[in-house]
Amino acid sequence: MLGTFGVWGSHYEWAGKIGEVAELEALGYGTFWIGASPDIALVEQALNATTSMTIATGITNVWQTEPEAISAEFHRLASDRFLLGVGAGHRQLDQAYEKPYDKLVSYLDRLDVPADRLVLAALGPKVLKLAADRTAGAHPYLVPVEHTAEARKALGDKLLAPEVTVVVEEDPVAARAIAREQLAVYFTLTNYVNNWRRYGFTEEDVQGSDRLLDALVAHGSPDQVAAKLQAHVDAGADHVAVQSLNGHYAELAGALGLRE
């Protein structure tokens, strides 16, 4: 359904160029993930622009969208190519943010979407277990390959589809500079910071050290980036959602063997 590799893009970036999703489909990417709690109209546009590609939300924020509303839209679209990803957002960005686990549980209780068409944004073990118990699987974001290996164990045979950020740039200093600038907000978000600490990153690291960036961001030539993406597959990912901070999706498709 998803293919081994897909593309993740924020709706802020893609809203005005949704027709280009068809080009990604032609390159061989199996899924397009629309990030940052997109309007369902954008999902519909992407479905209309493609013929076989899965369109997923990565993610629909449970504090910003009522479950009854998204359920109604899911059934209105009636597309077997739509995968709904939901998650609890961030304490610093969502004013209503409190007890995220309880909110996720109550949201799932009210959500009328088949479990096999639903994934959760999951980082820690508790939400990974919830994803395994009540949905098709998990869609972690901005994680090292070690997290993918641990998530595989937590999920059993359920779907594991991490987002992996990449920069196609052979100069590591330049690549890290691009990543550090564009990912700066995440260094202030406790759910990500706490997750990185689980994997041995220090207080200094979680502010954006080279060590952290090298673990989170696949950078280098297209072939080098492809090898780092494949490492997540080797660690247990069923699907990798590739978010390139500087484009080059065509070159990556070739390096990943998506095109003949």
Q: Rounded to whole angstroms, how far apart are CA atoms 113 and 117?
A: 7
Q: Which of 77, 27, 87 is nearest to 55 (CA)?
A: 77
Please give the model's pTM, rounded to 2 decimal places: 0.96
In this predicted structure, the answer to whether residue 96 has a pLDDT above a threshold of 60 is no
Q: Rounded to whole angstroms, how far apart are CA atoms 247 and 9?
A: 11
| pLDDT (0 to 100) of residue 148 | 98
Q: Rounded to whole angstroms, how far apart are CA atoms 131 and 122?
A: 7
DSSP 7: E
In this predicted structure, the answer to whether residue 159 has a pLDDT above a threshold of 90 is yes
Give 92's pLDDT tier (boundaries 50, 70, 90). very low
Q: Residue 64 corresponds to which amino acid?
A: Q
| pLDDT (0 to 100) of residue 192 | 95
In this predicted structure, the answer to whether residue 46 has a pLDDT above a threshold of 90 is yes
Question: Looking at residues 66-73, what average pLDDT do you find?
Answer: 97
In this predicted structure, the answer to whether residue 165 has a pLDDT above a threshold of 90 is yes
> Which residue's entry shows tokens 């901005």?
142
Domain spanning 5-256, CATH architecture: Alpha-Beta Barrel (3.20)
Q: Rounded to whole angstroms, how far apart are CA atoms 7 and 247?
A: 11
CB 104 within 8 A of CB 130: yes
In this predicted structure, the answer to whether residue 4 has a pLDDT above a threshold of 50 is yes
The count of other CB atoms within 10 Å of the CB of residue 194 is 12
What is the per-residue pLDDT across 204-257, written as a single tens digit (0 to 9) for each?
999 999 999 999 999 999 999 999 999 999 999 999 999 999 999 999 999 999
| pLDDT (0 to 100) of residue 97 | 53
> Domain boundaries in the chain?
5-256
What is the per-residue pLDDT across 100-157, written as a single tens digit (0 to 9) for each?
899 999 999 999 999 999 999 999 999 999 999 999 999 999 999 999 999 999 999 9
| pLDDT (0 to 100) of residue 90 | 66
Give the mean pLDDT of the chain: 95
In this predicted structure, the answer to whether residue 98 has a pLDDT above a threshold of 80 is no
Q: Which of 70, 52, 57 is nearest to 14 (CA)?
A: 57
Give 93's pLDDT tier (boundaries 50, 70, 90). low
